Amino acid sequence: MSTRTYEIRTYGCQMNAHDSERIAGLLEESGYVPAAEGVLADLVVYNTCAVRDNADQRLYGNVGQLASRKPENPGMQIAIGGCLAQKDQHTILQKAPWVDVVFGTHNIGSLPVLLERARIQQESQAEFLESLEVFPSTLPTKRESSFAAWVSISVGCNNTCTFCIVPSLRGKEKDRRPGDILNEITALVADGVIEVTLLGQNVNAYGVEFGDREAFAKLLRACGEIEGLERVRFTSPHPKDFTDDVIAAMAETPNVMPQLHMPLQSGSDRILAAMKRSYRSEKYLGILDRVRAAMPDAAITTDIIVGFPGETDEDFEQTLDVVRKARFSGAFTFEYSPRPGTPAATMEEQVPAAVVSERYMRLVELQNEIAWEENKRKLGEVVEVIVREAEGKKDDRTDRQSGRARDNRLVHVAHTNARPGDVVTARVTYAAPYHLIADEILDVRRTVSGDRWEARTAAPTIGFGIPLMPKR
């Protein structure tokens, strides 16, 4: 039998990107190779998200298009995993009976076996586990980046936010032991990685399983002891669990990036209570004040939901007021969409779509103004940029390279001989709401990550596509 090819289509959050790298590793360990660009693969895997209401339509539309291609491609298989698969586990094969394998968030390691079983038995296979079987980070990995890596520290969430479907799909929080995490990071650094992102649905709750409330701060400090690790960042802390020991660890650990993503969701205390967020706007702003006192140049981003059930004009104005005070460098803004199975989906006073849309545009306009003002403050500053592959869509036309500064701002620099993973030091010459331009080059530092990229691309290879951030 000839070597089978695969393609992974990833929707959703950074945890999905992390899981897709594990799926790719599993498949290549099983003998699959990446499909050439523009060529239909023997196996197409959808790793899905269920957070937004259009997730279902997007998936079933794309899977439907593939149904007509299967007869002309004997042996072709389609697999669906991730949060949407977990959510629709009882109906997905009814809606798309031509799908070969459906698997959940807790058993991605089962995919190769399920694919082979479906091939031999000539019938669809579906398998879901109620709890995590194998921690995803222990699975084989095919990393997309030569210099950056996702490192999962926990899976699942113990919170009960009324709008969120994640706990029912990812389950209760399960923590990895600190030693396992640090061993993984050390191995990644030995392989040329200079930046890691610590992943979890609520990283500040890390340690709840083994009874250490200071575990996350200790983990950050321990990352600072790993020689060769230049940048550490993390995702999705919950304001209710964010503590001063974490702020101190961030400020006092040189390789922890001065960047914080702190989800607000709403500036209205009444709406926060309805969301069961367990903090209020005053506490939230107090956290930002303490972060900036310890790290004056910290870039703070957030998530905001517009149009939660019962949100009034007054509630929305309170959100705008918090946004003005918070001075976010960027925000992921969402129009509320009810997710079946969440308490908010059945709440009364659902806000009319036209009202939500009008509020949303006002929020985006305000946040864009603030982000632009914050970026203008960077004019003339010297930034250190790790060059990324295919980060800037216009790089070829503008003769620039793109990457992220230490505060995770997107920066386009004048083209140099830097390779992806190399570090460019440059002075900021222009500011826009969502990016900086730094055309005054001061230094280019070659790194082991750049060496790894060069070695990897010396012979023609084909990767798989994983979006870095969910579409806003």
- The answer to whether residue 368 is domain-embedded is yes
What is the per-residue pLDDT across 397-426, written as a single tens digit (0 to 9) for each?
889 999 999 999 999 999 998 999 999 999
Q: Indicate whether 388 and 364 sit together in one domain.
A: no
Rounded to two decimals, what is the model's pTM?
Answer: 0.86
Give the CATH number of the domain where residue 47 resides. Answer: 3.40.50.12160
Q: Indicate whether 351 and 422 sit together in one domain.
A: no
Q: Is the pLDDT of residue 19 over 80?
A: yes
Average pLDDT, the chain: 90
Q: Indicate whether 30 and 116 sit together in one domain.
A: yes
Q: Indicate whether 421 and 321 sit together in one domain.
A: no
What local confidence, expressed as pLDDT, does residue 459 receive?
A: 52
What is the tally of structural domains in the chain?
3
Q: What mean pLDDT comes out for the span 9-13?
A: 83
Q: Is the pLDDT of residue 248 over 70?
A: yes
- The answer to whether residue 252 is domain-embedded is yes
What local confidence, expressed as pLDDT, does residue 472 receive?
A: 31
What is the per-residue pLDDT across 80-137, written as a single tens digit (0 to 9) for each?
998 888 888 888 898 889 999 999 888 888 899 999 999 999 999 998 877 776 777 7
Q: Indicate whether 73 and 166 sit together in one domain.
A: no
What local confidence, expressed as pLDDT, does residue 52 receive?
A: 66
- The answer to whether residue 471 is domain-embedded is no
Do 272 and 281 form a contact (C-beta atoms < 8 A)?
yes
Q: Indicate whether 404 and 362 sit together in one domain.
A: no
Spatial distance between the Cα atoms of 23 and 407, rounded to a whole number of angstroms: 30
Give the CATH number of the domain where residue 235 resides. Answer: 3.80.30.20
Q: Indicate whether 255 and 276 sit together in one domain.
A: yes
Q: Indicate whether 81 and 226 sit together in one domain.
A: no
- The answer to whether residue 272 is domain-embedded is yes
Q: Indicate whether 209 and 288 sit together in one domain.
A: yes
Q: Indicate whether 155 and 110 sit together in one domain.
A: no
Q: How confident is the model at residue 55 (pLDDT cuts 50, 70, 90)?
A: low
Instruction: Identify the domain containing residue 425 by its residue range.
Output: 382-456
What local confidence, expressed as pLDDT, does residue 92 receive?
A: 87
- The answer to whether residue 461 is domain-embedded is no
Q: Is the pLDDT of residue 463 over 50?
A: no
The residue with greater pLDDT, 24 or 135, is: 24
Spatial distance between the Cα atoms of 326 and 25, rounded to a whole number of angstroms: 41
Q: How confident is the model at residue 79 (pLDDT cuts 50, 70, 90)?
A: very high
What local confidence, expressed as pLDDT, does residue 53 receive?
A: 61
Last residue of one domain, picked from the residues 127, 151, 186? 127
Q: Is the pLDDT of residue 50 over 50?
A: yes
- The answer to whether residue 466 is domain-embedded is no
The residue with greater pLDDT, 48 or 277, is: 277
**Percent over 70 (pLDDT), the chain:** 95
What is the per-residue pLDDT across 320-336, written as a single tens digit (0 to 9) for each?
999 999 999 999 999 99
Q: How confident is the model at residue 167 (pLDDT cuts 50, 70, 90)?
A: confident
What local confidence, expressed as pLDDT, does residue 1 receive?
A: 53
**Percent over 90 (pLDDT), the chain:** 67
What local confidence, expressed as pLDDT, does residue 439 receive?
A: 96
Give the CATH number of the domain where residue 389 resides. Answer: 2.40.50.140
Q: Indicate whether 370 and 386 sit together in one domain.
A: no
What local confidence, expressed as pLDDT, does residue 133 receive?
A: 66
- The answer to whether residue 462 is domain-embedded is no
What local confidence, expressed as pLDDT, does residue 29 receive?
A: 93
Last residue of one domain, picked from the residues 96, 127, 158? 127
Spatial distance between the Cα atoms of 30 and 4, rounded to a whole number of angstroms: 10
What local confidence, expressed as pLDDT, does residue 312 receive?
A: 98
Q: Indicate whether 77 and 9 sit together in one domain.
A: yes
Q: Is the pLDDT of residue 461 over 90?
A: no
- The answer to whether residue 465 is domain-embedded is no
What local confidence, expressed as pLDDT, does residue 469 receive?
A: 37
